[in-house]
Structure 1
Amino acid sequence: MTILSFQPYCGPAPQPGAVWAAWNLDPVLIGALVALAVVWGMTWGRGASTRERLVFGAGWSLFFIAFVSPLCALTSALFAARVGHHVAVMTLAAGLLVLAAPRARLKRLFGGRSLLWSATAAQAVLLWFWHAPAAYGWSLTGDAQYWIMQASLIGAALMFWRGVRLAPIQHGLLALIATMVQMGALGALITFASEPMYAPHFATTLAWGLTPLEDQQAGGLIMWAPAAGAYLAAALILLMRRVGFGEAGAGERIA
Structure 2
Amino acid sequence: MFIPVPTAVPTSLPNHDVIGEGSDWWTAWNFDVQYLIPLFLMAFLYARGLSRWDNRSREHSRWRTFSYYLGLFVLAFIYESPLDRLGEHHFSMHVIQHNIAMMWVPPLIYLGAPATPILKGMPRGFRKRVVAPILRSHVTRMAWNFLTQPVVAIVLFAGSQWIWHLGPGYYDLALRNDFVHDIQHISFLAVAMIFWWNIIDPKPRRSRIRSMGTRIVYFYGAMIPKHVLAAFITFADTVFYPTYERVRLFLPGTPLEDQQLAGLIMWVPFGEMLNLTVAGILFAIWWRQSDQRQREEEAARDAERESESAAVPVSGG
TM exceeds 0.5? Answer: yes
The match for 2:204 is: none
Aligned ranges for residues 82-161 of structure 1 at < 5 Å?
82-101=94-113, 111=141, 113=145, 114-132=148-166, 134-161=169-196
Distance 1:28 1:126 in 2: 22
Residue 71 of structure 1 deviates from its aligned partner by 0.8
**C-alpha distance after superposition, 1:85-136 (max 9, x if no partner):** 0111110012211221258899x96858542321111110001111116111
Distance verdict in 2 for CA 1:230–1:205, change over 3 Å: farther
Structure 2, unpaired ranges of 5+: 1-7, 54-59, 119-131, 201-206, 294-317
The match for 2:217 is: 174
Calculate the TM-score normalised by the size of structure 1: 0.86
Contact 1:205 1:212 in 2 (8 A): no
Residue 185 of structure 1 deviates from its aligned partner by 1.3
For the aligned residues, what is the CA RMSD?
Answer: 2.7
Q: Does 1:162 align with 2:205?
A: no
Q: Does 1:63 align with 2:69?
A: no
Residue 75 of structure 1 deviates from its aligned partner by 0.7
2:42 to 32, 36, 45: 36
Partner amino acid, structure 2, of 1:118: V
Distance 1:121 1:248 in 2: 34
The match for 1:212 is: 255
Partner amino acid, structure 2, of 1:126: S
Contact 1:124 1:179 in 2 (8 A): yes
Residue 234 of structure 1 deviates from its aligned partner by 1.0
Residue 14 of structure 1 deviates from its aligned partner by 5.5
The match for 2:286 is: 242
**C-alpha distance after superposition, 1:157-200 (max 9, x if no partner):** 00111122212222211121122222111111100001111122
Q: Does 1:3 align with 2:10?
A: yes
The match for 1:232 is: 276
Partner amino acid, structure 2, of 1:230: L
Contact 1:44 1:102 in 2 (8 A): no
Secondary structure at the aligned position of 1:76 is classed as coil
Residue 15 of structure 1 deviates from its aligned partner by 6.5
Contact 2:35 2:76 in 1 (8 A): no
Partner amino acid, structure 2, of 1:91: M
**C-alpha distance after superposition, 1:46-84 (max 9, x if no partner):** 654201111011101111111111111111110000000
The match for 1:252 is: none
Equivalent residues, number? 246
Calculate the TM-score normalised by the size of structure 2: 0.70
The match for 2:229 is: 186
Distance 1:196 1:49 in 2: 48
Distance 1:225 1:43 in 2: 39
Secondary structure at the aligned position of 2:78 is classed as helix
Residue 204 of structure 1 deviates from its aligned partner by 2.8
Distance verdict in 2 for CA 1:214–1:205, change over 3 Å: farther
Distance 1:72 1:80 in 2: 11
Contact 1:180 1:232 in 2 (8 A): no
Distance 2:50 2:183 in 1: 27
Partner amino acid, structure 2, of 1:7: N
Distance verdict in 2 for CA 1:52–1:61, change over 3 Å: same
Structure with max Cα Rg: 2
Distance verdict in 2 for CA 1:116–1:46, change over 3 Å: farther
Structure 1, unpaired ranges of 5+: 250-255
Residue 16 of structure 1 deviates from its aligned partner by 9.0
